[in-house]
Chain A
Amino acid sequence: MAALGPSDTINAGENVFIKMPSDNVKCIVLKPGSTISLGKFGEFKADDIIGHAWGNTYEIYDKHKTRVYHSEEMNEIEETANNNREIVDDPSSQKLTLDDIKALKSEGLKGELTGEEIVNRLKDSHATFDKKTAYSQAKYLQKKGKKFLKIFTPIKPTAYSVNEYFYIKNPAKIRDIRMDTLSQVLSYSNVHSGAKLLVVDDTQGMIVAALAERMGGKGTILGLYDGDNARYDVVKYMNFSKEIQDTIKTLSWLRIHRPADEKTPDEMQDVTQLTGMDLEGYHRRLKAYNIVEESRKALFEADFDALIVASQYQPESILEKLLPYVRGSRPVIVYHSSKEALLETSTYMRKRPDLLAPQLTESWLRKSQVLPGRTHPEMSTWGTGGSLLTATKVIDQPVQAALTKKERLAMEKRNTEAKKLKRAREEAADSAASSPALADDAATVDAGATVTTTTTTTTTTTSSSATIISEETVDAERASKRVKQE
């Protein structure tokens, strides 16, 4: 037998999705010793499934005992001569009264009747059941089964199942990202074990969760967030091991650069003088400080293997700041629930000389009912699953030896302007003592975009640099456009 690892079995204290006969899914935390109620489908003891491998369906019998349930194999339906000519819409064809059915239900809950027995009673007391077509009979039994069978299936949280759960239950929470679109994010991003990814994820961590699963505990995901905390609620549902959890690092947009007035724990207090509670407080602060420092370091290494943006904020403004931290020949992906929100971003990307071949895609997904002889697309289907804008980061530094004359001239012009700008900044830096973090960040962006592709963590500071940069970018765009026209 293959050895079972902790992720192969249903474990105590973990999140489990319980699929019920109605196809509704319920999310529970499996506490040892607890009883889990599934409403009209009965209840079961958590201990009965803790320790089991995933993958089985259980039947509730004798009130709340469980046993593995084997569904009958699906049979080809044999055509009969029946048709619906004789069938009229008549509520009296069911001979059982509402009270009879209620009585059957309560017997079922007490464990005196199985779900199948109830369905059979209903069938037997249906006056025109035999007149129904074979297809209609099968459909009737399936429909009643969904109401009265007392079975449930524990489903393991995976990127797919968690996404499916939230997409059906509360799509707004995950910004409508559907499993197919999510799967394409995973492919386009080329996520793999050991990758280092830069992510802005406002899908409550749906994307971060899927990426982390694919990295299997090796590599780094750096998530930038606004507000007090990174809101990665979905990640909590994944039952990640500590190893995988640790690959997810976060950094607040406001902490990218150390605020001028922020002191290190050592600057605040002399550790040698601390005792008791104060010392504990110091260690707590030091730990928090080190986490932020580590995330900053990860960012400023500027060697990310992908940039993935699924933000509520304007994507261009995010790309502008984060593209310099991405390596050459690496994917850049922007997700949004509506295509229109990406149109401006798309024209922006097309103008950027360091982005290659932006592509705006939507995914289309259709599910079908598959039963022998009864296969057809489902009657209701999904609307949008969101849109993706993908491109490849390239190095906007055409190799000198092979430059065209125009490119060379444009580049020389850019270099002299960059020098001028640097001088202006140095002068301005003397006069302006402190500056907001955002402008600070923009300066770093500029360094990455125009000087070299090597790591730049210089933080020159002028509040005006942001506007100057945009002019410069426009210039660079023009240069590259000219080249493209040739």
Chain B
Amino acid sequence: MSDTMVEKQSFARYKTNNTIEEGDLVVTYLNRETMGMIRVRKGEYFNCKFGSYKHADMIGLEYGTKLGSNTGRGFLYLLHPTPELWTLVLPHRTQILYIADISFVMNFLNLKPGMSMIESGTGSGSFSHSIARTLAPTGHLYTFEYHQERVNAAKKEFEEHGLSDMVTLQCRDVCKDGFDMENKVDAIFLDLPAPWEAVASAKKAFKHNKIGKICTFSPCIEQISRTVTALSEQGFVDIQMFECLIRFNEIRVIPMWTIEEAMEKQRAVEKKRKRDKPQAASKKNGKRQERRTQEDTEEESSKDKVAKLESLVDDSNDSSAAATPMSTSGSEAEPSSATSTPVVAPEATMPSATTATTTTTAEAEPRERIDPKNVVVTRLPAEQRGHTSYLMFATFTPAFQQPSLREKKAAEAQS
């Protein structure tokens, strides 16, 4: 890093000028599934299936800009890195925490600027980034990981993401060796296979004379059972447990025709069919009719049912729809009432560009195409996340008290 660089890019804040400069990190967004992060270097290219993008083209652009590819076949969005985006693009070295759990835990632990906190293990650093952003600029995160390679990778990331001055990363097995910290932190987060082994040492790390909050994150209920016993033995109080999930809705706009509109369309189709091939249609239908008569009465009864239903529909819609009872049996008989009753369906009277206008008769021509009413609906995906982990919280109570107002007054009165 050169000394001339005034502002070091950090995941804990936005760049003041919001402009992409040489050496900056950019989250490349092609679509929800295709995101990544690059460091912008003059002379380098970002390639994907839609084409190639010159890094040089990105320099000087504002974050959030839509950049077209050289081929003109695609584009990508250049986004400013944030902890939330990092969670979506980071290289997975372990299972990671996602936004639902991250958010809830941070809220419950009451994280805010200036606090100090322990996290163990660091894992892939998903949560670490969110914590660091929230404690910045004056707070501090102590994060522990027992896997040396993960430590190295996370260390590099914290440095590259401008967080290293507020994150202390240690390679340490806290279950075996403890945190070796005393009277230091306001909050503790344990994402360990055996959190109960770290509870006693965690207790020591809390600032002794202040309230502290601890959260353990365990996928299995058996882990919770053992941890709750350990927390209780160590004097933690107000033990609470939550599960939190985010449901992502799919939004669709679906067309919804009324049954009258559907009937009208059907009428139009039948009319057209009759007009186009009157002979063929009758022949075909005739054959079908023959075959049907040979079939059992079940078919007949179901047909009756349909007819009954239709009449129900017709009745419900005053007299207008009754004008043209629709036949599903495929009979070529002229809709009887079409000529006798000049009542017109209300939707047919509406002026519409799609209305077929082959004849100029007074009767409304049934429309083949009708613009439906569009309805916006949501749906939960058939498969979705059903469980992440159990979030168990407990409170550390201050070990000794400052004198109360009454005690102070009494002491003053004595002296």
Once A53-B209, A397-B65 are accepted as A-B contacts, the answer to whether A180 and B405 lie under 8 Å apart by CB is no
Q: State which of A183, A329, A346, A395 has its C-beta within 8 Å of the C-beta of B107.
A: A183
What band does the interface of chain A fall in when counting residues whose beta carbon is under 8 Å from B? 35 or more
In the complex the two chains form, is B104's CB within 8 Å of A183's CB?
yes
Once A156-B211, A361-B249 are accepted as A-B contacts, the answer to whether A327 and B64 lie under 8 Å apart by CB is yes
Chain A residues lying within 8 Å of B396, measured Cβ to Cβ, are 55
Question: Quick check: which of A83-91, A209-217, A426-434, A466-474 contacts chain B, the rest being far away?
Answer: A209-217
Whether B45 is near chain A, meaning CB under 8 Å from some CB there, is no
Interface string of A359-376 (1 = CB under 8 A from B): 111111111111111010
Whether B161 is near chain A, meaning CB under 8 Å from some CB there, is no
Once A12-B405, A74-B232, A193-B136 are accepted as A-B contacts, the answer to whether A370 and B65 lie under 8 Å apart by CB is no
| Least Cβ–Cβ distance between B76 and chain A, in angstroms | 10
Whether B91 is near chain A, meaning CB under 8 Å from some CB there, is no
Whether A141 is near chain B, meaning CB under 8 Å from some CB there, is no
In the complex the two chains form, is A48's CB within 8 Å of B228's CB?
no
Whether B110 is near chain A, meaning CB under 8 Å from some CB there, is yes
Chain A residues lying within 8 Å of B208, measured Cβ to Cβ, are 1-2
The residues of A with any CB-CB pair to B shorter than 8 Å are 1-2, 4, 8-9, 12, 32, 45-57, 68, 70-71, 73-74, 76, 153, 156, 158-160, 179-180, 182-184, 186-188, 190, 192-195, 210, 213-218, 303, 305, 327-330, 339, 343-344, 346-347, 350, 356-357, 359-373, 375, 392-399, 401-405, 407, 453, 483, 486
In the complex the two chains form, is B405's CB within 8 Å of A366's CB?
no
Chain A residues lying within 8 Å of B211, measured Cβ to Cβ, are 8, 53-55, 156
Among B209, B210, B235, B405, the one with the most A-chain Cβ atoms within 10 Å of its Cβ is B405
Chain B residues lying within 8 Å of A329, measured Cβ to Cβ, are 18, 62-64, 77-80
Chain A residues lying within 8 Å of B53, measured Cβ to Cβ, are 402
Q: Complex: how many Å from CA A365 to CA B138?
A: 32
In the complex the two chains form, is B237's CB within 8 Å of A71's CB?
yes
Chain B residues lying within 8 Å of A54, measured Cβ to Cβ, are 210-211, 398
| Least Cβ–Cβ distance between B394 and chain A, in angstroms | 9
In the complex the two chains form, is B398's CB within 8 Å of A55's CB?
yes
By Cβ-Cβ distance, the 9 closest A-B pairs, closest first, are A328-B64, A402-B68, A55-B211, A216-B113, A329-B64, A183-B107, A183-B103, A329-B63, A50-B405
Q: Complex: how many Å from CA A405 to CA B73?
A: 10
Once A363-B100, A402-B72 are accepted as A-B contacts, the answer to whether A395 and B224 lie under 8 Å apart by CB is no
In the complex the two chains form, is A184's CB within 8 Å of B100's CB?
yes
Chain B residues lying within 8 Å of A48, measured Cβ to Cβ, are 404-406
Q: Complex: how many Å from CA A179 to CA B402?
A: 32
27 A-B pairs, CB-CB below 8 angstroms? A2-B184, A47-B405, A54-B211, A54-B398, A55-B210, A56-B397, A56-B401, A57-B237, A159-B110, A180-B100, A183-B107, A188-B84, A192-B113, A214-B134, A216-B113, A216-B114, A327-B63, A329-B79, A343-B376, A361-B246, A361-B247, A367-B240, A370-B392, A375-B224, A394-B64, A395-B64, A404-B73
